[in-house]
Structure 1
Amino acid sequence: MTQTNVRPFSGKAVIDTEALPIKLWLDESELGQGALDQARDLANLPYAFRHIAIMPDSHQGYGMPIGGVLATRDAIVPNAVGVDIGCGMGSLRTDLDDIGTADLKAIMKQIRKTVPVGSAHHKTPQDEAWMPERKGELPVVEAQYDRALYQLGTLGGGNHFIEVQKGSDGHVWIMVHSGSRNLGFTVASHYHEVAKSLNEADGDPLPPDLSHLPKTSEFFALYRDEMNYCLEFALANRQLMMERVKQAFVEVMGDIDFSHFINKPHNFAAEEAHFGERVMVHRKGATRARAGEWGMIPGSQGTRSFLVTGKGEAFSFHSCSHGAGRVMSRARARKTLDFKAEAKRLKEQGVLHALRGRKDLDEAPGSYKDIDTVMRNQKDLVDVQVELAPLAVVKG
Structure 2
Amino acid sequence: MREINTEKLPIKVWARLVEEEAMEQARHLANHPHARFHIALMPDVHQGYGMPIGGVLATEGVIIPNAVGVDVGCGVRAVKTNQTVEDVRSKLRNILNQVQRSIPTGFNHHKKPQHSPLFDRAPDVPVIREELKNARYQLGTLGGGNHFIEIQRDDRDFIWIMLHSGSRNFGKKVADYYNRLAVQLNERSGSPIPREWQLACLPVDSKEGQNYLAAMEYCLEFARENRRHMMNVVLDICRSILPGFACGKQLDVHHNYAAMEKHFGRQVMVHRKGAVRAVGEVIVPGSMGSPSYICRGLAHPESFSSCSHGAGRVMGRNEARRRIAVESVIKDMQSLGIELFKARKGDVAEECRQAYKNIDQVMEDQKDLVEMKVRLQPLGVVKG
Question: Given the alignment of the two structures, is residue 370 of structure 1 paired with residue 352 of structure 2, yes or no?
Answer: no
Q: Deviations over 1:48-94 (max 9, x none)?
A: 01000000001000111000000000000001000100000000111
- Counterpart for residue 251 of structure 2: 262
Displacement, 1:15?
Answer: 1.2
Closer/same/farther in 2, CA of residues 270 and 113 from structure 1, 3 Å limit: same
Matching residue's letter, 1:156: G
Aligned to 1:128: 116
2:53 to 63, 66, 73: 66
CA distance in structure 2 between the aligned counterparts of 1:385 and 1:137, rounded to whole angstroms: 42
Q: CA deviation at 1:217?
A: 1.8
Shift of 1:16: 0.7
Q: Percent identity?
A: 47
Partner residue of 1:139?
Answer: 126
Which residue does the alignment assign to 1:297? 284
Count the aligned residue pairs. 380
Q: TM-score, normalised by structure 1?
A: 0.93
Describe the shift of the 1:189–1:347 C-alpha distance in structure 2 as closer, same or farther (beyond 3 A).
same
User: Which amino acid is the alignment partner of residue 311 of structure 1?
Assistant: L
Q: Is the 8 A contact 2:42 2:307 kept in 1?
A: yes
Q: 1: distance between equivalents of 2:303 and 2:186?
A: 28
Which among 378, 383, 388 is matched to residue 371 of structure 2? 383
For residues 294 and 207 of structure 1, the distance between their equivalents in structure 2, rounded to whole angstroms, comes to 39
- 1:132·1:232 contact (CA, 8 Å) conserved in 2? no
Q: Tell me the residue number matched to 2:6.
A: 17
Q: Which amino acid counterpart does residue 93 of structure 1 have in structure 2? A: K
Q: Which moved more, 1:239-248 or 1:199-208?
A: 199-208
Corresponding residue for residue 348 of structure 1: 335
- 1:272 and 2:261 correspond: yes
CA contact (8 A) 1:177 1:238 kept: yes
- Among 98, 111, 132, which residue is 1:110 paired with? 98
Contact 2:122 2:129 (8 Å CA) reproduced? no
Corresponding residue number in structure 2 for 1:4: none
User: Match for 1:85 among 59, 63, 72?
Assistant: 72
| Root-mean-square deviation over aligned CA pairs | 1.4
Provide the rounded CA distance (Å) in 2 between the counterparts of 1:128 and 1:311: 35
Identify the match of residue 273 of structure 2 among 270, 284, 298.
Answer: 284
Shift of 1:132: 5.6
Q: What is the distance in 2 between the residues matched to 1:254 and 1:360? A: 33
Change beyond 3 A, Cα 1:115–1:357: closer
Q: Residue 39 in 1 paired to residue 26 in 2?
A: yes
What's the offset of the Cα at 1:370?
A: 0.5
Please say if residues 33 and 193 of structure 2, whose CA atoms lie closer than 8 Å, have aligned partners that are also in contact: no
Normalising by structure 2, we get a TM-score of: 0.96
SS in 1 for 2:121: coil
Amino acid at match of 1:19: K
Q: 1:249 aligns with which of 218, 231, 238?
A: 238
Give the direction of change, closer, same or farther, for the CA distance of 1:343–1:136 in structure 2 (3 Å limit).
Answer: closer
Query: Which of 38, 43, 46 is matched with 1:51 structurally?
Result: 38
Letter in 2 for 1:297: V
Deviation at 1:171? 1.8
Q: Which amino acid counterpart does residue 252 of structure 1 have in structure 2?
A: I
Partner of 1:183: 170
Look up the match of 1:219: 208
Q: Which residue of 2 aligns with 1:315?
A: 302
1:26 matched to 2:15:
yes
Separation in structure 2 between the aligned mates of residue 298 and residue 371 of structure 1, nearest angstrom: 8
3-state DSSP of counterpart to 1:173: strand
**Matching of residues 333-344 of structure 1 within 5 Å:** 333-344=320-331
CA contact (8 A) 1:169 1:386 kept: no
Contact 1:22 1:54 in 2 (8 A): yes
The amino acid of 2:170's aligned partner reads L
- Conservation of the 8 A alpha-carbon contact between 1:21 and 1:43: yes
> Superposed, which structure 2 residues align to 1:134-173 within 5 Å?
134=121, 136-173=123-160
- Secondary structure at the aligned position of 1:278 is classed as strand
CA offset digits 1:271-296 (Å, max 9, x no partner): 00000000000000000002xx1111
Quick check: 211-220 or 364-373, which moved more? 211-220
Alpha-carbon displacement from aligned partner over 1:22-73 (angstroms, at most 9, x marks no partner): 000012xx21011011000000001001000000001000111000000000
Structure 1 runs (4+) greater than 6 angstroms displaced? none
2:366 partner SS: coil
Tell me the amino acid that sits aligned with residue 251 of structure 2.
Answer: I
Structure 2 CA distance for aligned equivalents of residues 377 and 150 of structure 1: 41
Relative to structure 1, is the Cα distance of residues 357 and 122 closer, same or farther in structure 2, using a 3 angstrom cutoff? closer
Quick check: 2:299–2:305 contact (8 Å CA) kept in 1?
A: yes
CA distance in 1, matches of 2:138, 2:346: 28
Deviation per CA, 1:289-336: give whole Å up to 9, x if none. 02xx11111112211100001001000000000000111101110101
Change in 2 beyond 3 A, CA 1:223/1:91: same
